[in-house]
Amino acid sequence: DRLGLMRKYSCIVLSPADATKKAGMIKKVLNFIAFGELGKKDLEELIEKRGQPIDKSKKVDVKKAAEEIEKGKKYDELNLKPFFRLHPPRKGIDSKFHFGKGKGVLGNNKDKINELLRRML
């Protein structure tokens, strides 16, 4: 709830400063979510395709918004809702979890999160 993940297949983007502030919350939900570091190009694509403006009469500059989010600016100031609703991944989820190492989607995916996100846009 406090992370802003209200529904299945939703996404939030945290700046490094916000991630350290919310480290305890992330640690609690570690086994129930997929997370990792998002590339700049993928962040711009996410904002362009799935970003919802708060005030629909104002346009959102995608590149500027991506830079400001990385710096830690609040979504309200950028006229964006703080979450992104996504589709279920095309070609399905590989495996939600696997007892052992290396397999599954849940937990820290490092750079594989970019591929998963592209399949969900």
Q: What is the pLDDT of residues 24-80, one digit of tens each?
A: 898 888 888 888 899 899 999 999 999 999 998 998 999 999 999 988 899 999 999
Instruction: Decide: residue 51, CB within 10 A, 0-12 exposed, 13-18 middle, 19+ buried.
Output: buried
74-100: pLDDT as tens digits: 999 999 999 999 999 888 877 665 555
Residue 110's alpha-carbon distances to 55, 69, 82, 107, 115, in angstroms, are 33, 19, 22, 9, 11
What is this structure's pTM? Answer: 0.83
Q: Is there a domain that residue 47 lies in? A: yes
Q: Is there a domain that residue 95 lies in? A: yes
**Full residue range of the structural domain in which residue 110 is found:** 10-120
Q: Is there a domain that residue 3 lies in? A: no
Q: Is there a domain that residue 4 lies in? A: no
Q: Is there a domain that residue 1 lies in? A: no
Q: Is there a domain that residue 73 lies in? A: yes
d(CA 121, CA 84): 10
